[in-house]
Amino acid sequence: MKLKYRLSLLFLVVIAVSATITLVLVRRSTESMFRTLVFSGDAEKAAAYALLLGEYRLEKGDWNEVQAFLVELPGLYSRMIDTRIHGGTGWPTLDGYPATTLRSLMADRVVVADANGFIVADTAGQILRTIHPSAHLMHGIPILAGFERTGTVLVGSMVDSSLTGIDERFLNSVFASLAWSTAVATAVALALGLLIAARITNPLQRLARAAKAVAAGEGAAPVQVRGHDELADLSIAFNEMTSELRRLDAAKKRVIADAAHELRTPVTLIQGTVEGMIDGIFPLDKDTLASVHEETVRLSRLIDTLRELEIIESGELRLSIEGVDLGEAIRKAIALFASSAAAKSIALAAGPSPSPRALARGDCLRIGEVIYNLMSNAIKYTPDNGAVRIAELPPADGRTGFRVDDSGPGIPPEERERIFERFYRIDKSRSTESGGRGLGLAIASEIVKAHGGGITAGASALGGASFTVTLPVFRP
């Protein structure tokens, strides 16, 4: 079942259950309050009887004689009133009550049930010694002897607590309108629930359609982002994901095209030379074969580099992690590049040693490779009589690192991220001329990333490019 309908059904169940509970509770309390209202006159009398009967029960200890007591009560009262009127012994509570009122009070039918609902007195004698229906007893007034409930007394209309026709109709019409309003409220709530469910599920459907389009290989258009809730966050994340996918897809296509192009050149050269040798255009001698060999070596180096990149990127690269002394690595690099720098009259120098210092957490050989790539670029792109400097950085926030500066042409700000992509060269003719294939920085960047570090390009105080590498500090 669709989420939209499942949600609506859920709304309906919740609403129906709560409406039914409300209906039942309101019905019960309305009925009981209405009965109290209708029986209130008799209930007041019953309360007076309950007090009297409580006293009676305390004194007698049982209900055995209660029927006779109640039947005789009006006579008893009459006699007392007569005595009072004729100046008898006195009955203080009767002060101010006309005798007729008391007599009419005595004329009511009184029913007493014991604690088990067994009728022990009925002044009308109709239901004596029967079990009274508990529904009627429920509306009676409890008789307390001390703190113990010893029975229930019902007076007049309370004995048969069924309502009169008009009362019954009134109650029924109240219940009918209650039921109607519950039904209407449920219907309105269901309609609202459908609307809300649609609002929740529509963005999800849009996302599902877009995800299917991506899965089918179609370039998905960004999905609309509405509001600021979790669904909006999901749409934003989806859009970011598709744009990243598009970028990666474009990068992949470019890499394949570039790789094909790079491989094409030496292959064409080899093919041309070999065909020339077959056709007798080139002599079949050692020199020609040596040039073919040179191209195959270049080809195999290119393939090795691509393979290396692939290994690092796929996380298959095994790093033998240790504490790397960057100062030591820098000294080695200076020694290694001394002659090529001297050949171009480039002033090659190491920056001052920072204080404090920290070992970097990494693979010594791989970090050496990063330094090698950056240094060879610096010397390669720096013109004669320029300067190249490499310096260790002081540790900060659990990271240490180094920086390579040169006085070469520098890297324009808009190219500073792209130069780390494979085959990316700022000035292709300049780079190819110097033998570059746009893979050195890509490899350096992947190695640094595999170490959990970072690499950035910027402008150098020497006037050229500045490459900063950060690596985690080694904690033994």
Judged by CB under 6 A, the chain residues 347 through 386 that form the site for ligand ADP are 377-378, 381
Residue linked to tokens 């210092």 = 357
φ/ψ (deg, to 5) at 323 = -85, 115
Among 386, 395, 401, 440, binds ligand ADP (CB under 6 A): 440
Q: Name 348's bridge partners.
A: 388
Size of the site for ligand ADP (CB under 6 A): 22
Cα angle, residue 337 at apex, residues 336 and 342 outer, rounded to 5°: 130
Q: Least distance to ligand ADP from the beta carbon of 347, Å? A: 15
SS3 161: coil
Helix or strand holding residue 187 (H, E): helix 165-215
Among 7, 16, 194, 426, binds ligand ADP (CB under 6 A): 426
Q: Which region, left, alpha or beta, applies to residue 473 given φ > 0 means left and ψ of -120 to 50 means alpha?
A: beta
Residue 27: name the closest of 163, 165, 177, 136 by CA.
Answer: 177
Among 419, 447, 455, 469, binds ligand ADP (CB under 6 A): 419
Residue 123: name the closest of 53, 32, 172, 60 by CA.
Answer: 53
Q: Does the footprint of ligand ADP cover residue 35 (CB under 6 A)?
A: no
Q: Least distance to ligand ADP from the beta carbon of 458, Å? A: 11
Among 193, 266, 401, 438, binds ligand ADP (CB under 6 A): 438
Residue linked to tokens 């029986």 = 39
Residue 448: name the closest of 367, 332, 330 by CA.
Answer: 367
SS3 309: helix
What are the DSSP calls for 193-231, one per residue? HHHHHHHHHHHHHHHHHHHHHHHTT--PPPPP--SSSHH
Q: Least distance to ligand ADP from the beta carbon of 325, Å? A: 24
Q: Given the complex with ligand ADP, which of 153 and 390 has the nearer CB atom?
A: 390
Q: Does the footprint of ligand ADP cover residue 54 (CB under 6 A)?
A: no
Alpha-carbon distances of 330 from 246, 370, 452, rounded to whole Å: 40, 11, 20
Q: Does the footprint of ligand ADP cover residue 341 (CB under 6 A)?
A: no
Q: Least distance to ligand ADP from the beta carbon of 380, Å? A: 6
Among 359, 465, 469, 471, binds ligand ADP (CB under 6 A): 465
Judged by CB under 6 A, the chain residues 186 through 205 that form the site for ligand ADP are none
Q: Least distance to ligand ADP from the beta carbon of 221, Å? A: 34
Q: Least distance to ligand ADP from the beta carbon of 401, Å? A: 17
- Number of C-alpha atoms within 13 angstroms, CB side, residue 335? 7
Q: Does the footprint of ligand ADP cover residue 346 (CB under 6 A)?
A: no
Among 436, 447, 455, 472, binds ligand ADP (CB under 6 A): 436
Among 238, 437, 455, 469, binds ligand ADP (CB under 6 A): 437
Q: Given the complex with ligand ADP, which of 377 and 470 has the nearer CB atom?
A: 377
Q: Least distance to ligand ADP from the beta carbon of 299, Å? A: 16
Helix or strand holding residue 394 (H, E): strand 387-396
Q: Which stretch binds ligand ADP (CB under 6 A): 63-71, 143-151, 297-305, 432-440?
A: 432-440
SS3 90: coil
**Residue 37: both structure tokens together:** 């209202």
> What is the per-residue binding string for ligand ADP in 389-418, x denoting contact by CB under 6 A?
-----------------x-xx-x-------
d(CA 161, CA 140): 9
Binding site for ligand ADP (CB under 6 A): 377-378, 381, 406, 408-409, 411, 419, 424-427, 431, 436-442, 464-465
